[in-house]
Amino acid sequence: MTIHRQAGPGSARRRARWRDDTGSVSTEIVLSYVPLMVLATVAIVACLRLVSADSDVNAAAAAAARQASLARSPAAAVAGGQDAAAATLQGRDITCSPRTVTVDAGGLAPGGQVAVTVTCTVALQDLYGLGLPGTVRVTGTARQPVDTYIGEQQP
């Protein structure tokens, strides 16, 4: 059994009102979703730039530790580590001001270990390119073994 309804006097007016809503989803997307997607993209880029700065500082610490482990004296290890860290960070997109390079050359003996910590204070405007105020502190630490045969002479 099928029941048929007849259209009443207000049904044409309701259909006309429904037709007036066409295109409202497009306007909703443009006004709300697009700015949210732009904000999400900017946040992702900002996070990637922070990870890149962290990677640069860790690379500088690794290069400094390697250079310090090749030195023959603690003073030469400190100087070599600081020079290597400065040279590694020089060609990067980040500006470290101030930069601190701490070389622990206490284990500078055959079979020992040298540790280097690089601490870099990066301005957020350099990091993100958005002109944000403030700074972020990035730290990287690396350890490098000293060659077991360093200082031994070959016969």
Residue-range domains of the chain with CATH: 26-145 (3.30.1300)
pLDDT at 8: 59
Cβ contact 65:116 at 8 Å: yes
> pLDDT digit of tens for each residue in the chain (155 aa)?
566 566 555 555 555 555 555 666 777 777 788 888 888 888 888 788 888 889 999 999 999 999 999 988 899 999 999 999 999 988 777 777 788 999 998 888 888 899 999 999 888 776 666 677 788 899 999 999 988 876 554 44
Cβ contact 61:142 at 8 Å: yes
